[in-house]
Amino acid sequence: MKSSPKVVSVVGKLLMLASLVFIVLQIARHGIDFSLAASPFVIMGLLLVSAILGFGIVFAGFNFRWFIKDITGVSVDGRIVIRAYCASNLYKYLPGSVMYLIGRNRIAFETKKVSHAQIALATAMEGVFILLSAVIIVAVSISDEAVYYIRDRDVSIPPFVWGIAGGIVLVCVLLSVIFRRRLRVWFGKFSDSMKNFRFVSRVKRLGTCLFIVMVMAVTYLVVLLLLGEQITLDMVPTIIGLYLLAWLAGFLTPGAGGGMGVRELVLYMFLDGYLNTAIVLSSAIIHRLVSIVGDVFAYGIVLAYAKARK
């Protein structure tokens, strides 16, 4: 059963590919024109969004350093943590979608103060708090109207998408049953390590993660406005909540690097009809592109800082 994680990854990749194919077909069907994004004003706005996302990644790196300190009680050199964090953040687009997690263990190689297990625990806790933050914002943002809108939608999802998604769920359940003893041991170690993670520290980290997730959602809102979507104030919470639901779907899909394809598909299914179809499709793709530019920009900031220090 050692190949089971590979099966999960392969199934996730199939879902990602299916999502990308579906998006391409929808773009061809609706004849999306991306020329609007070529205006100087929109380009400058998108570059600003990329910069904001880039600085957000750097700030998330500082937050990860605080996670390490809160859990282990050890203060690791911020330059080592931020450099490894921003570099490994680029690895999430590689096949398998796990290299960015492994890349963070560079921190343990470059300093003897923390172990690989402690870095892995900090990574797990960051993921849990990011997910919890997104769920909290979704719960607060989505109104009753949005719930009714999602429930009453006549969304035609291709059968193969349901099949692949069901396969992922089935494999995850089987893995949980097969490796239940190892999971029990791991959770035991996890509980012991969490004793150092005090309540005040948890509140601080949750607050920081809430800020990071909200910034990410607001940048998508800005992209919609730059592309000409008419948005009223009462629509803002619903759009933010639906975007984060789509983001959660991509985040939780194994094998899909950065949730690529999956997030865009779910975003289209949620917002098509609520917003202009052409703008929903183009905004989903453009926001993905500016996010990638932001990831590269974050690493560029780290390299520029290191060079300036020398």
Q: How far apart are CA 57 and CA 63, in angstroms?
A: 10
Name the residue among 140, 93, 49, 70 with its Cα closest to residue 257.
93
Predicted structure pTM score: 0.76
Give pLDDT, residue 224.
Answer: 92
What's the confidence (pLDDT) of residue 113?
A: 78
Q: What is the mean pLDDT of each run of 10 residues along the chain (310 residues)?
A: 49 55 57 66 90 93 90 84 86 64 78 80 88 90 61 56 63 70 64 66 88 94 89 88 87 64 80 82 87 88 79
Instruction: Supply the pLDDT for residue 209.
Output: 94
Q: Report whether 168 contacts 252 (CB < 8 A).
A: no
pLDDT at 19: 52
SS3 (DSSP) at 169? helix
**Where do the domains of the chain lie?**
4-309
